C-alpha cells in the first residue's frame, strides 16, 4: 500500500509517454504534408538542351529569326507540365556553320525584344533600348547587351540551353 502513489505516478507517466508517442506518429505526416515543400526548390527550369528543329530552317545571312523556347517537361513540387513556353530567343546564322542565339528577354527590365527590319537592329519597345544585330548595346537604358544563349548543332538539329539573367545589371549574372 505504501507503494501505491509511486505506482500511480508511474502509470500516469507511462500513459502520457505512450499517448504522446502515438500522437507524434499520427501528427508527423500531417505536419510534413502541411509544411512541404517549404525550404525546397519547387520549380526547376530545365537545364538540358532543348531541340529547336533543323538548322536549315535558319537562313544564312538572313534576318534573325525568333523562336519560342518550349520545354518538353517542367516539374515542380506537385505536378509535371508538358510543352511549357520558357521564353524566346533570336537566332542568327552568320555563315553555314556559325549560329548564334540571343535571349529575347530585354536585359533592362525584361520586356520582349523585337527586330527592326528598317534599321536592321534590335529594339525593346518598353524603354527604347536598341541593340546591334550581334546584340551589342547601341542606345537606351539597358546597361548591357542582349544575353547570349548556348547553342549547338547536333545531327543537323539546333540544341539550345535556356538561361535567365538578372535584370538591370551591367554584369551578366544568371538569375
Q: What distance in Å separates the CA atoms of residue 108 and residue 95, rounded to the nearest whole number?
A: 30
Measured from the Cβ of residue 86, the count of other Cβ atoms closer than 10 Å reads 16
Piece of 4-12, 13-21, 51-59, 102-110 that binds ligand FES (CB under 6 A): 102-110
Compare residues 65 and 144 and give the one whose CB is closer to ligand FES: 144
Q: Is 166 in the site for ligand FES (CB under 6 A)?
A: no
Distance CA 124, CA 84 (A): 24
Choose, by CB under 6 A, the member of 60, 84, 88, 126 that binds ligand FES. Answer: 126
Cell of 164: 535567365
Q: What does the H/E/C string look like for 71-96?
A: EEEEECCCCEEEEEEEEEEEEEEEEC
Which stretch in 14-22, 83-91, 136-144, 149-157 sits in contact with ligand FES by CB under 6 A? 136-144
Residue 111 touches ligand FES, criterion: CB under 6 A: yes
Q: Is 49 in the site for ligand FES (CB under 6 A)?
A: no
Set of cell numbers at residue 64: 534573325
How many CA atoms does the CB half-sphere of 40 hold within 13 Å? 11
- Please select the residue that binds ligand FES; options are 46, 114, 141, 148, rule is CB under 6 A: 141
Position 108 contacts ligand FES (CB under 6 A): yes
DSSP assignment of 96-129 equals TTEEEEEESB-TTT-PBPEEETTTTEEE-TTT--
Q: Which of 70, 86, 88, 109 binds ligand FES (CB under 6 A)?
A: 109
Is 105 one of the binding residues for ligand FES (CB under 6 A)?
A: no
One of 75, 127, 154, 166 touching ligand FES (CB under 6 A): 127
Report how many residues bind ligand FES under the rule CB under 6 A.
12
Q: In what order do the strands lie in the sheet with 80-95?
A: 65-75, 80-95, 98-103
- Work out how close the CB of 52 gets to ligand FES at its nearest, in angstroms, rounded to a whole number: 24
> By the criterion CB under 6 A, which residues form the site for ligand FES?
106, 108-111, 124, 126-127, 129, 140-142
Amino acid at each position: 500500500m505504501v507503494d501505491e502513489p509511486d505506482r500511480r505516478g508511474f502509470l500516469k507517466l507511462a500513459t502520457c509517454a505512450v499517448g504522446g508517442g502515438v500522437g507524434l506518429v499520427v501528427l508527423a505526416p500531417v505536419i510534413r504534408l502541411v509544411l512541404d515543400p517549404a525550404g525546397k526548390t519547387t520549380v526547376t527550369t530545365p537545364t538540358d538542351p532543348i531541340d529547336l528543329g533543323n538548322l536549315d530552317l535558319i537562313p544564312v545571312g538572313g534576318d534573325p529569326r525568333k523562336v519560342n523556347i518550349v520545354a518538353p517537361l517542367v516539374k515542380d513540387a506537385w505536378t509535371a507540365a508538358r510543352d511549357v513556353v520558357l521564353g524566346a530567343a533570336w537566332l542568327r546564322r552568320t555563315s553555314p556553320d556559325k549560329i548564334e542565339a540571343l535571349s529575347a528577354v530585354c536585359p533592362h527590365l525584361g520586356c520582349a525584344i523585337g527586330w527592326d527590319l528598317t534599321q536592321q537592329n534590335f529594339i525593346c519597345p518598353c524603354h527604347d533600348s536598341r541593340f546591334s544585330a550581334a546584340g551589342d548595346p547601341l542606345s537606351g537604358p539597358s546597361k548591357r547587351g542582349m544575353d547570349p544563349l548556348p547553342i549547338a548543332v547536333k545531327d543537323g538539329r539546333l540544341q539550345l540551353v535556356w538561361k535567365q539573367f538578372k535584370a538591370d545589371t551591367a554584369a551578366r549574372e544568371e538569375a
